[in-house]
């Protein structure tokens, strides 16, 4: 896959960010894909709609397992696991060998070892994640 992002900011902030970036930060393929994606409004609308639908679905499923997903609008969810007594690190060691990665959030301001972030993916991938999290919760009980 390609990794590409952009920043919308005032000139002073954009200049500060520019200084931090390496000179060759994206390749020509990523740049071309980015330009095409900006022109395809219908594709963008469908992707945003699917992510929104899957984020809500995933959030509901996680809540049913006892996790605490936080509301948001991005293609990932911040999730708390304190009520289950399972740290993000413990979940990471369970999920990692099974091919699923989570982002630990203990280094984020005001969060601790009971917070992690997951990507909102396709229904099939989200169901697989939920199934593995269910196994992890059962293994801890």
The mean pLDDT of the chain is: 93
- Return the DSSP state at 115: E
d(CA 5, CA 25): 10
Q: Tokens 């630990």 identify what position? A: 104
Over residues 45-69, the pLDDT tens digits come to 998 999 999 999 999 999 999 999 9
Question: Taking the domains of the chain in order of start, what are their residue ranges?
Answer: 52-140
Query: CB–CB of 64/82 below 8 Å?
Result: no
Q: Does domain 52-140 have CATH number 3.90.1150.10?
A: yes
Over residues 61-112, the pLDDT tens digits come to 999 999 999 999 999 999 999 999 999 999 999 999 999 999 999 999 999 9
d(CA 99, CA 56): 23
pTM of the complete model:
0.79
What is the model's pLDDT at position 4?
81
Over residues 6-41, the pLDDT tens digits come to 788 899 999 998 888 887 778 889 889 888 888 889
- Residue 116 burial by Cβ neighbours in a 10 Å radius (0-12, 13-18, 19+): buried
């Amino acid at each position: 896959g390609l990794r590409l992002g952009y920043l919308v900011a005032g000139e002073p902030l954009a200049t500060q960010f520019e200084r931090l970036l390496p000179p060759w930060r994206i390749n020509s393929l990523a740049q071309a894909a980015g330009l095409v994606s900006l022109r395809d409004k219908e594709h963008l609308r469908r992707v945003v709609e699917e992510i929104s639908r899957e984020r809500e679905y995933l959030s509901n499923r996680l809540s049913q397992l006892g996790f605490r997903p936080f509301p948001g609008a991005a293609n990932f969810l911040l999730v708390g696991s304190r009520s289950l007594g399972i740290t993000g690190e413990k979940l990471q060691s369970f999920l990692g060998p099974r091919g699923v990665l989570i982002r630990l959030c203990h280094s984020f301001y005001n969060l601790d070892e009971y917070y992690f972030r997951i990507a909102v993916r396709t229904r099939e991938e989200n169901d697989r994640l939920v199934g593995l999290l269910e196994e992890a919760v059962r293994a801890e009980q």
